Amino acid sequence: MSNVRSKSVILILLCSAFSILTGRLLDQSSGAGTSSYRAVYYGARCLIHQVDPYNPDEFSRTYMAESGALPRDTAHKTLFLRAVMICVNLPTTLFLLIPMALLPWGLSHLLWLAAIAVSLTLAAVLTYDLVAKNDSRLPLFLICFIMANCQVLFTVANTAGLVVGLCVIAVWCFLKERFVGLGVVALAISLALKPHDSGLVWLWLLVSGGLLRKRALQAAALVLFIAIPAVLVVSRSSPNWRAELAGNLAATSAHGDISDPGPASNSRQGSADIIIDLQTALSLLYDDPHFYNPATYLICGVLILAWLLSALRSSQLRSKALAGLACLVPLSMLVSYHRPYDAKLLLLAIPAVSMLNHDDRWHKLALAVSTLAVFFTSDLPLAFLAVLVRSFHFAAPASSARVLLLPILRPAPLALLLMAVVFLWVYLRPSKVESPEPILAPRGPQ
């Protein structure tokens, strides 16, 4: 068994290497690569020079003075200017990136890519360590498929890569009761960088009680310790950062802009780097934020509330708890703005699959929906699908026809929603488990 698992780890490493290599090769064709990291790097550079990073004009002047690199073709240049020059990152994100921004760009972006590669690959290996030893083939396939489809992440170098990696590492530390101090720091940094990625995982830890609740509270205290100086530093350069950040978010989410979840978004033109939240599916039915935003919050809110009410009175068996986590992970992607690189958080849902009773028909259904969610949030399938639907005119079909076309036009959010519902049902129903193992493993060496 040890030899088999060693070979499995090597396979995970090879899949990760494939994504790194292909992602970097794709990035070489651009005149201004690693665009997502440029946004946070030069945002932090603004703070160093006491320039307002949330003012697009001041950000642009700083960027053009220090770099000036822009994509060669017009289409990518337009997206680049919206994605980089309009700062939508939190003060905590910019604050944490100041040490990296003190380094020259060439060294800094290489270290950043290395941090993403190491943390995410380690997260994948640790995920496999959480998988039940008697059922590791399909979970291993899902882990490898996720790791082989990170091209966009290693092209744009988004903070999601580090956020997901640190969040998964933290959960492993807590469940295994090993290196818990490292886990607390990892979770706190993950929350400070992108709370909408790891926030529901933090809620799962909090509600789980016992030592997991203690770890969640420790991480929250550390986030507060980061947030206070971050706000003070940002406020020196940008006294009105709250209003400016809100304005930037509204501007980039406007109809047809880069963060618009509707069919007119200029980021959906033949690209795998698309928005995958539930708003993107509901917007095909009626492209109005006054419809698709409340509808999304209602659907996701009902599912989260049902999970929460059950979690507060549920047993702490490992299979039961991990099923609850597998429900929350896809919901994290659905409720607010997310892209495929955020969906690498689905790593945390994979151990739950191996914990279900194999004689239960819900085990097969959970396997099926997990596979669909992983497949339709992965870069290569999304790129292929983008080519197929590139010439489709979204305004043409009637509303009834759009409902039937949703699985083709928006498979990612539908697969994520289906996964959340199935795992919620598994979590709510009384069922036999594979083993009565407690949620926390016996304490190991620290």
Higher pLDDT, 41 or 271: 41
Whether residue 439 lies inside any domain: the answer is: no
pLDDT at 433: 46
Q: Reduce the DSSP state of residue 217 to 3 states and report it.
A: helix
Whether residue 71 lies inside any domain: the answer is: yes
Domain hosting residue 145, numbered range = 2-428
Lookup: tokens for 404: 């039937």
* SS (HEC) of 260-328: CCCCCCCCCCCCCCCCCCHHHHHHHHCCCHHHHHHHHHHHHHHHHHHHHHHHCCCCCEHHHHHHHHHHH
DSSP H stretches of helix in 28-150: 35-48, 56-66, 74-85, 91-96, 98-101, 105-130, 137-147
pLDDT at 150 over 70: yes
Give residue 1's Cα distance to chain centre: 32
pLDDT band at 397 (very low <50, low <70, confident <90, very high): low
Whether residue 445 lies inside any domain: the answer is: no
Is residue 266 within 8 A of residue 77, CB to CB? The reply is no
pLDDT at 19 over 90: yes
CA distance linking residue 217 with residue 184, whole number of Å: 9
Higher pLDDT, 265 or 168: 168
| Number of domain units in the chain | 1
- The residue ranges of DSSP E strands in 175-262, in sequence order, are none
pLDDT at 370: 93
pLDDT at 264: 82
CA distance linking residue 374 with residue 396, whole number of Å: 30
Q: Give the DSSP letter of residue 443.
A: P
Q: How many CB atoms neighbour CB 391 within 10 A?
A: 7
Whether residue 166 lies inside any domain: the answer is: yes
Higher pLDDT, 166 or 311: 166
Whether residue 201 lies inside any domain: the answer is: yes
Is residue 136 within 8 A of residue 128, CB to CB? The reply is yes
Whether residue 441 lies inside any domain: the answer is: no
State what percent of residues in the chain have pLDDT above 90: 66
Whether residue 435 lies inside any domain: the answer is: no
Higher pLDDT, 365 or 93: 93
Lookup: tokens for 136: 């590791």
pLDDT band at 119 (very low <50, low <70, confident <90, very high): very high
Whether residue 415 lies inside any domain: the answer is: yes
Rounded to 5°, angle at Cα 198 from 119 and 341: 60
pLDDT at 148: 96
pLDDT band at 391 (very low <50, low <70, confident <90, very high): low
pLDDT at 446 over 50: no
- This prediction's pTM: 0.93
Lookup: tokens for 222: 């550390």
Lowest mean pLDDT among 298-302, 352-356, 367-371, 408-412: 352-356
Helices 379-388 and 361-376: angle between axes, nearest 10 degrees = 70
Q: Reduce the DSSP state of residue 317 to 3 states and report it.
A: strand
CA distance linking residue 407 with residue 421, whole number of Å: 16
Lowest mean pLDDT among 135-144, 228-237, 374-383, 387-396: 387-396
pLDDT at 200: 97
**pLDDT tens digits for range 177-187:** 999 999 999 99
pLDDT at 403 over 80: no
**pLDDT tens digits for range 66-85:** 988 888 776 678 788 888 89
Q: Is 161 exposed, middle or buried (0-12, 13-18, 19+ CB in 10 A)?
A: buried
Lowest mean pLDDT among 115-129, 340-354, 403-417: 403-417
pLDDT at 235: 96
The average confidence (pLDDT) of the chain is 88
Place of tokens 């026809």: 401
pLDDT at 378 over 90: yes
